Amino acid sequence: MKLFTHNMLTSRCLKGVLSGYPLELIATNVQIREIEFKPEFIIKMISKLDWNVFVDTANKLGYGTELPKSNPPENFNKDDEFLKKVHHALFEVDVEEGELICPETKRKFPITKGIPNMLINES
């Protein structure tokens, strides 16, 4: 599971959950997989991120220490070094095994072979 995916997931579909965001990410197996760097794509993706959640999660995994904590810098779209750091954390860091935890209910959702299981069985 990529950190970009994590940034979009919520457990709001659980009964009684108002937000379910952000899910806490506990990773037990992380792989780094090189992916072609496309700066235009990264620029578009930055506007879709909850930046603080992204950086906090990347830092907890040890892959966000070079990212600014509050917001992307001004004119980030012209800074290839910055975009490469974001690209690495968003798309090359791959959580293979672990779990996601709902912040409201503490329900755990397993991540197996890079796929989060968000299926709900209320019974």
Task: Name residues of the chain where pLDDT drops below 70.
Answer: 121-123
Query: What per-residue confidence (pLDDT) applies to 123?
Result: 47
Sign of CA dihedral 72, 7, 104, 24: negative
Query: With contact defined as beta carbons under 8 Å apart, do 17 and 105 qualify?
Result: yes
Q: What is the pTM of this model?
A: 0.92
- Look up the domain containing 102 and give its range: 3-114
For 14-47, write each residue's pLDDT tens digit: 888 999 999 999 999 999 999 999 999 999 999 9
Work out the burial of residue 89: count CB atoms within 10 Å of its CB; fewer than 13 is exposed, 13-18 middle, 19 or more buried.
buried
Residue 54 inside a domain? The answer is yes
pLDDT at 120: 74
For residue 100, the model assigns a pLDDT of 98
CATH number at residue 20: 2.20.25.10
Residue 120 lies in a domain: no
Please state the domain count of the chain. 1
- Whole-number pLDDT of residue 16: 86
For residue 103, the model assigns a pLDDT of 97
Q: How far apart are the first and last CA of the chain?
A: 27
